[in-house]
Amino acid sequence: MHASELSQALRGLGMSSDSWRALPLLPLVHVAWADGSIQDAERELIMRLADDYGLDGDGRMHLHNWLSYPPSREVIAQGQNVLIALCSSVGPADEQLLADVVTFSHQVAKAAGGFFGIGSIAPAEAEAIDKIGQALGVDPERSWVRSFDATFVPADADDQLDGPEIEVVFADIPDQPSRANLIHLDLGGEGERLAPVVGEGLMVGRGDDAHVQVRYDPQVSRQHYRVYESERRYYLEDLDSTTGTMVNGQRVVARRLLGGEDIRCGSVSLYFQLLDA
């Protein structure tokens, strides 16, 4: 941006040459708001950074507004563009400021974890940090989200060698008579495990509500597919999954199961067993 364009962009944000110093804190506020509310620990950390940064006057007024009401997407995007332009106009020395913004964003996100989160980063905040890093041209160090939240996996998770291994977890299913099972051959762990198809059926997916939960597989949707019984016949229904459900190597929307089928979603295969033909 030329000086006149930069001045105009600042004016569009309601800022001047006196208040622009609040801009490095705007991405931090965005991360804090990512999960819908700002936690006290996040607010305190941002205010402490503002104090260390020497923010006062109109700049502090902008920060107070951002902490009271979430900035719009337009303000976030424009603020990041102006921040990059300001750093570019000052010179290479201020490239460190952009890197610090991403580092501080991690600190803000971890601040909300408290003792139970053990300083981990929540899914929405991790996604916001990624977007900030991309916008600022900074490659953030990858931090995995809370280990107990298997419903979120970053889009680039399959490139992360240090990410958690894929897990298949069977929920507690009522002990009822069943003519069919879904079987997982866990050769490296617990051996053969099975889940009886009872009630309204079994749902397989990445979400916490799945009867068979496939954790940390970015190719598996939260609700991926369902196996159920209808009039003593068994069927599979894909639940509008992103990557599809494969039965014996063929992608399907829905089909009847006759027994012996290999059902695959993501990198996990389950075997459908029919006890009486």
183 and 75 fall within a common domain:
no
Digit-coded pLDDT (tens) for 28-75: 888 888 878 888 888 888 888 888 778 888 888 899 999 999 888 888
What CA dihedral angle connects 254, 255, 260 and 264, to 10 degrees? -20
For residue 21, is it within any domain? yes
Q: Can you say how many angstroms the Cα of residue 259 is from the centroid of all Cα atoms in its chain?
A: 36
pLDDT-based confidence at 77, cuts 50/70/90? confident
CA–CA separation, 252 vs 265, rounded Å?
A: 11
Percent of the chain with pLDDT over 90: 25
Question: How confident is the model at residue 238, as a pLDDT?
Answer: 94
141 and 177 fall within a common domain:
no
Residue 100 reports pLDDT greater than 80: no
Contacts of 97 (CB under 8 A, 6+ apart): 24, 87
pLDDT-based confidence at 15, cuts 50/70/90? confident
30 and 131 fall within a common domain:
yes
For residue 96, is it within any domain? yes
176 and 241 fall within a common domain:
yes
CA–CA separation, 25 vs 182, rounded Å?
A: 51
Mean of the per-residue pLDDT values of the chain: 78
18-27, 145-154, 206-215: least confident range: 145-154
113 and 230 fall within a common domain:
no
pLDDT-based confidence at 184, cuts 50/70/90? very high
Token pair, residue 234, equals 């068994």
* Adjacency order of strands within the sheet including 262-265: 191-196, 180-186, 268-274, 262-265, 245-247, 250-252
Structural domain boundaries, residue 41: 3-148
CA–CA separation, 227 vs 223, rounded Å?
A: 12
Q: What is the pTM of this model?
A: 0.48
